[in-house]
């Protein structure tokens, strides 16, 4: 990565500020007319500036889908900062980038290899593109109930078994900070003459400090999608798509993005992407050093508490996953929020994950330590989990697109065993599907669904959020 003096520029942010401060008589959208129509309670809270900057694609602000001015300049600066040959700003989050990547690399009916712990947006991309998935099971630690990395051996086996795969999609880092070894995965894909796509939504900060794992771009991935709003400081929904090499047509990417992005992009999100790039490119090392120091201090103190177990799997040290006594992660999350005002990023059945970023400060670490220390005083030492290894991947009886459009019926959960799932069911967060449209419903999936609900987890994507009834593909007579 680079700290060139040119990286201190913020061309789109500057252009937006100029337009926001210019006297105008607005007969364009949005309808609040630069804040003139905003209800007073909202304006009293947020002030005038945010609404004055909420502008459409005026001529001097460029166009997201055909940038020629300050937005193009901002994207070029981002490409240089992150090490890409071309970068696109996204205002619909990494979700849009993942779906565009699938649309740009596979035609309808073709195959995409992807990790089974991919985010639900990848399944949406399969449905939109009409692509057939070939799932790869990541490694798994049953003592922590955490999906780990996709191994080069598993990828090589998959590509040898399916010579017609057109692209590969892996998630790295995961929610828990687990990073796959991207370089050998890229080498494997390139030997088979196909591109590697990396959903790096949780890794926009990688590559900007030597204590962090290398970024996917540094490891020769062809297409990388990052949620700049997650581990950096863009506004929510701000993300970037980075491309390098010639294995993916940039013309197809350019044509795919309007299919999954709004034609009315939020200028404030775009400006925040410009600013987040400038910040990490010029001040990233010092900000990340402070974050890494804080993470280490928190981890060191927590490791001394007998009631706390820390996951050993975080390749990214800014992610902290812990278990406290025998408590469910969902219950512990509720207790931390209600009693201490401490909120984690990811509660799950057996653990909690805390995400530290450059926005955290020492006071946050102190408050987390005080809360965990107080709760740990009365908690027993955590016992190792005794979970079963991951079962074989359930068979795909239909493609996700076929299942999405097929006639369906609703059954009580206990009657759905062996039927074909007609819906996407995700414990959320993290948004990793438990059931995918087109998959055969197995005993293992139903058991996991029941245990998630019993522990207090929430479901998304399904018609019945209680999980008592499931949508399955209707049987034809």
The structural domains of the chain, ordered by start, are: 5-282 (3.40.640.10), 284-376 (3.90.1150.10), 400-473 (3.90.100.10)
Pair type for strands 308-310 and 319-324 = antiparallel
Written as tens digits, the pLDDT of the chain (477 aa) is: 455 679 999 999 999 999 999 998 999 999 999 999 999 999 999 999 999 999 999 989 999 999 999 999 999 999 999 999 999 999 999 999 999 999 999 999 999 999 999 999 999 999 999 999 999 999 999 999 999 999 999 999 999 999 999 999 999 999 999 999 999 999 999 999 999 999 999 999 999 999 999 999 999 999 999 999 999 999 999 999 999 999 999 999 999 999 999 999 999 999 999 999 999 999 999 999 999 999 999 999 999 999 999 999 999 999 999 999 999 999 999 999 999 999 999 999 999 999 999 999 999 999 999 999 999 998 999 988 888 888 888 889 999 999 999 999 999 999 999 999 999 988 766 768 889 999 999 999 998 888 888 888 888 888 888 889 999 999 975
Distances (CA, A) of 411 to 145, 453, 462: 29, 18, 13
- The answer to whether the beta carbons of residues 470 and 416 sit under 8 Å apart is yes
Number of residues written out for the chain:
477
- Calpha distance 377→411 (Å, rounded): 45
Task: Count the helices and strands in the chain (H runs, E runs).
Answer: 15, 17
| pLDDT at residue 256, as a whole number | 97
pTM to 2 decimals?
0.96
Q: How many CB atoms lie within 10 A of CB 65?
A: 15
Give CA 462 to chain center in angstroms: 20
Which candidate, 231, 234, 241, 242, places its Cα nearest to that of 275? Answer: 234
């Amino acid at each position: 990565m680079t700290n060139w003096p040119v990286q201190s520029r913020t061309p789109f942010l500057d252009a937006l500020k100029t337009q926001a401060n210019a006297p105008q008589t607005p007969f364009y959208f949005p309808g609040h007319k630069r804040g003139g129509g905003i209800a007073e309670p909202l304006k009293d809270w947020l002030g005038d500036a945010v609404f004055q900057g909420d502008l459409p694609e005026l001529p001097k602000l460029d166009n997201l889908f055909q940038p020629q001015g300050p937005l193009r300049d901002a994207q070029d600066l981002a490409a240089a900062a992150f090490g890409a040959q071309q970068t696109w700003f996204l205002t619909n989050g990494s979700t849009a980038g993942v779906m565009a990547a699938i649309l740009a690399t596979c035609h309808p009916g073709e195959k995409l290899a992807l990790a089974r712990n991919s985010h639900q947006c990848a399944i949406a991309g399969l449905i939109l593109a009409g692509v057939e998935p070939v799932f790869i099971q990541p490694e798994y630690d049953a003592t922590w109930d955490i999906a780990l990395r996709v191994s080069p051996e598993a990828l090589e086996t998959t590509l040898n078994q399916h010579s017609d795969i057109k692209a590969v999609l892996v998630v790295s880092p995961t929610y828990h900070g687990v990073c796959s070894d991207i370089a050998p995965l890229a080498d494997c894909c390139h030997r088979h003459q196909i591109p590697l796509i990396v959903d790096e939504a949780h890794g926009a900060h990688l590559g900007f400090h030597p204590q962090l794992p290398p970024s996917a771009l540094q490891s020769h991935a062809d297409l990388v999608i990052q949620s700049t709003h997650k581990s950096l400081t863009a506004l929510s929904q701000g993300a970037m798509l980075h491309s390098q090499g010639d294995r993916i047509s940039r013309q197809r990417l350019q044509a795919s993005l309007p299919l999954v992005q709004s034609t009315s992009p939020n200028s404030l999100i775009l400006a925040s992407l410009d600013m987040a790039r400038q910040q990490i490119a010029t001040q990233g090392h010092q900000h990340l050093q402070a974050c890494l120091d804080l993470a280490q201090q928190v981890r060191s103190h927590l490791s001394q508490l007998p009631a706390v177990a820390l996951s050993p799997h975080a390749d990214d040290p800014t992610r902290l996953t812990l278990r406290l006594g025998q408590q469910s992660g969902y219950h512990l999350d509720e207790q931390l929020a209600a009693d201490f005002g401490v909120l984690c990023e990811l509660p799950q059945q057996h653990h909690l994950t805390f995400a530290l970023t450059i926005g955290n400060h020492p006071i946050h670490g102190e408050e987390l330590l005080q809360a965990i220390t107080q709760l740990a005083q009365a908690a027993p030492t955590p016992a190792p989990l005794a979970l079963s290894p991951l079962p074989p991947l359930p068979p795909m009886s239909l493609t996700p697109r076929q299942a999405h459009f097929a006639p369906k019926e609703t059954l009580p959960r206990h009657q759905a065993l062996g039927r074909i799932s007609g819906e996407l069911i995700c414990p959320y967060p993290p948004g990793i599907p438990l059931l995918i449209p087109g998959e055969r419903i197995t005993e293992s999936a139903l058991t996991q669904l029941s245990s998630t609900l019993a522990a207090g987890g929430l479901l998304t994507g399904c018609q019945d959020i209680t999980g008592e009834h499931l949508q399955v593909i209707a049987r034809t007579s």
